[in-house]
Amino acid sequence: MTVPLVQVDAFADRPFAGNPAAVCLLEGPADEAWMQAVAAEMNLSETAFLHRDGTGYALRWFTPVAEVALCGHATLASAHALWERGRAAAGRPIDFGTLSGVLTAWRDGDSIVMDFPATPAEAADAPAGLGEALGLVPRWTGRSRFDWLVEAASPEEVAGARPDIAALAAVGGRGVILTAAGGRDGADVTSRYFAPAFGIPEDPVTGSAHCALGPLWAGRLGRERLVCHQASARGGTVGVQLRGDRVLLSGRAVTVLEGRLAAGPPRRSG
């Protein structure tokens, strides 16, 4: 059995920008070991696996080395792939059942909007070696449900950081978000994201990181709507709107590859 696969650049308005995600369009639940093997083969930050489940879709995300509980760019890529291939009604929202509950995506003009849980960070002392691994002196550190947050002195310090990736892998948690207020082209917030312990030395554009960045900077800047720039080599823009304990993330997406996996999931016995 072959499986349709789409590779999508998420949080991008042109090919070869933003964050690439592979989307596997399954007929039903698949073996976890097979999904992990596919994700390792694709070797992208995340590979999404989804199948119809009632009126919505069941969705899981895998990095090259592990399953994750929340992923923004691969959810955006999944919604884009479903609409583009006619598997979801063009004018209707899509509900995704995930490890982080139901996530809903809908279209707003050329953008896709996603309703995600907020994961606000609490101030916390930096673990030993975090500043040294980033090569800077943090202005503030905090801990969210998933990640460490580190505030740098300026957007330029964020963009210019050359972290010790091996040292960051030992920090603990899913990853490290490096951030500062302001940014290029009038951005409200600049960030970068590193998750080497999950097989991602630096993620190009990280939707789920903005579930923590949104609450942090909305409070500090006194506004609910933010334009956030992730300053990786590929770069990307994430629209953020804080709504209580939820965060609306928005961005665009572009398909760059369509094909089929020749090695489909193993058949289930019984």
User: What would the pLDDT profile of 90-148 be if each residue is shown by its tens digit?
Assistant: 889 999 999 999 999 999 999 999 999 999 999 999 999 999 999 999 999 999 999 99
Q: Please state, for a pLDDT cut of 90, what percent of the chain lies above it.
A: 96
Q: What is the mean pLDDT of residues 232-238?
A: 96
Please give the DSSP secondary-structure letter assigned to residue 127. P
pTM, two decimal places:
0.96
Under the banding of pLDDT at 50, 70 and 90, the label for residue 267 is confident
Q: What is the mean pLDDT of residues 53-76?
A: 97
Average pLDDT over all residues of the chain: 96
User: What would the pLDDT profile of 165-183 be if each residue is shown by its tens digit?
Assistant: 999 999 989 999 999 999 9
Q: Known catalytic residues?
A: 46
Q: Is pLDDT above 60 for 269?
A: no
| Alpha-carbon dihedral sign for residues 34, 112, 10, 250 | negative
For 152-180, give one letter per residue: b (16+ CB within 10 A) or e: beebebbbebebeeeebbebeebbbbbbb
Q: Is pLDDT above 70 for 42?
A: yes
Please give the DSSP secondary-structure letter assigned to residue 31. -
Tally Cβ neighbours within 10 Å of residue 40. 14
Return the structure tokens found at 98: 């995930």
pLDDT of residue 270: 47
Q: Is pLDDT above 90 for 47?
A: yes
Element (H, E) at 247: strand 246-251
Q: Is pLDDT above 90 for 1?
A: no
Contact indicator for 252, 110 with CB cutoff of 8 Å: yes
pLDDT of residue 268: 66
Q: How far is the C-alpha of 206 from the C-alpha of 98, rounded, in Å?
A: 17
Amino acid at 127: P
pLDDT of residue 90: 87
Q: How far is the C-alpha of 131 from the C-alpha of 150, rounded, in Å?
A: 9
pLDDT of residue 24: 98
User: What would the pLDDT profile of 4-38 be if each residue is shown by its tens digit?
Assistant: 999 999 999 999 999 999 999 999 999 999 999 99
Pairing of strands 56-62, 94-98: parallel
pLDDT of residue 96: 98
Q: How far is the C-alpha of 55 from the C-alpha of 72, rounded, in Å?
A: 21
Burial class, 119, CB count within 10 angstroms (exposed 0-12 / middle 13-18 / buried 19+): buried
First to last CA, the chain: 18
